[in-house]
Amino acid sequence: MIDLHDLRLDDARALLAHDAYGSLPEADESRTQYLQRVIDQLCELSLKDPLTGLANRRHFRHVLGREIDAVARSGESALLLMMDIDHFKKVNDTYGHLAGDRVLQAVAKALASCLRPMDTVARYGGEEFTAILPNCPPSFGKIVAERIRATVGSLQVLVAPLVSLQVTISIGGAFAPEWVRSTTALWIDRADTQLYRAKSEGRNRVYIDQQPEIAVSAEERKMLFGHLSIGDPAWLESVSTDAAVGAADGAMKRVN
């Protein structure tokens, strides 16, 4: 950890040079421009997970907070996915930590490839990833999560010469409640509950908690939450539809 109060230009350069996903600013710029670019790139670096290049947990939390406000204002539906590689400990235990890192990088790349540029994919910690999908119609949630599950399951990750691995991923999702200000913690909890179900019911599957229906009329909704919704986190009475999709053995497979 570097204390930013003590950060010197050489340290900053070293940090940026170390970043596998970035590059050092050109040295032939004016000194001010150069310093500004170093600062900009440091800011960018502080939002990224160094192993995978995805957004880190801090950035994810920031985006989720922004999204929950946007949903409360616009009423557009947004989906949060929590995703966890199955039996990942076995990868580390059998093939070593470096092999585990390769799997994490390959999965991260696959996740990013399944999502739109407007979505945020992050490494939440360890072998857990998350994605925020703004403006995601409810009917699309399961389709996109299934696409992710299938893409990860079809990866062949080369971890040593002649050794490639296949892994599976469990996914839990939750739509944000429209028109009601909730909390990011509640939203994460709902998605986490679905992830827990996916794990406990066999792994390599998707469960999505559909958006809670709000038990008020459209007119009341407008009066209550029309311009800006302020107040306690609220989960009005809801009917949720859960769907289990896909079922297969979640254990890691060695391909050759």
Three-state SS annotation for 73-116:
HHCCCCEEEEEEECCHHHHHHHHCHHHHHHHHHHHHHHHHHHCC
CB 178 within 8 Å of CB 236: no
**At its nearest, how many Å lie between ligand GTP and the CB of residue 251?**
9
* Cα 174 to Cα 171: distance, rounded to the nearest angstrom: 10
Q: Which is nearer to ligand GTP, 89 or 222 (CB)?
A: 89
Q: Judged by CB under 6 A, does residue 101 bind ligand GTP?
A: yes
Q: Judged by CB under 6 A, does residue 49 bind ligand GTP?
A: no
Closest listed residue to residue 49, CA positions, set 64, 60, 62, 38? 60
Q: Single out the residue of 63, 104, 107, 145 in contact with ligand GTP (rule: CB under 6 A).
A: 104
Site for ligand GTP in 200-239 (CB under 6 A): 203
Q: Which is nearer to ligand GTP, 108 or 176 (CB)?
A: 108
* Cα 113 to Cα 94: distance, rounded to the nearest angstrom: 28
Q: Single out the residue of 49, 67, 127, 209 in contact with ligand GTP (rule: CB under 6 A).
A: 127
C-alpha distances in Å from residue 59, one per residue of 45, 90, 185, 196, 235: 11, 29, 15, 24, 26
**At its nearest, how many Å lie between ligand GTP and the CB of residue 93?**
7
Q: Judged by CB under 6 A, does residue 126 bind ligand GTP?
A: yes
**At its nearest, how many Å lie between ligand GTP and the CB of residue 201?**
12
Q: Judged by CB under 6 A, does residue 76 bind ligand GTP?
A: no
CB 134 within 8 Å of CB 67: yes
Active site residue 219: no
Q: Single out the residue of 84, 119, 178, 209 in contact with ligand GTP (rule: CB under 6 A).
A: 84
Q: Judged by CB under 6 A, does residue 89 bind ligand GTP?
A: yes
User: Token pair for residue 70?
Assistant: 């946007």
Q: Single out the residue of 25, 100, 141, 172 in contact with ligand GTP (rule: CB under 6 A).
A: 100
**At its nearest, how many Å lie between ligand GTP and the CB of residue 77?**
28
Q: Which is nearer to ligand GTP, 49 or 67 (CB)?
A: 49
Choice among 26, 29, 76, 127 that is catalytic:
127
Question: Could you give the residue ranges of the DSSP H alpha helices within the chain?
Answer: 9-18, 31-45, 57-74, 88-95, 97-114, 138-153, 184-200, 218-225
* Cα 95 to Cα 158: distance, rounded to the nearest angstrom: 11
Q: Which residues are at the interface with ligand GTP (CB under 6 A)? A: 51, 84-89, 92, 97, 100-101, 104, 126-127, 199, 203
The catalytic residues are: 127
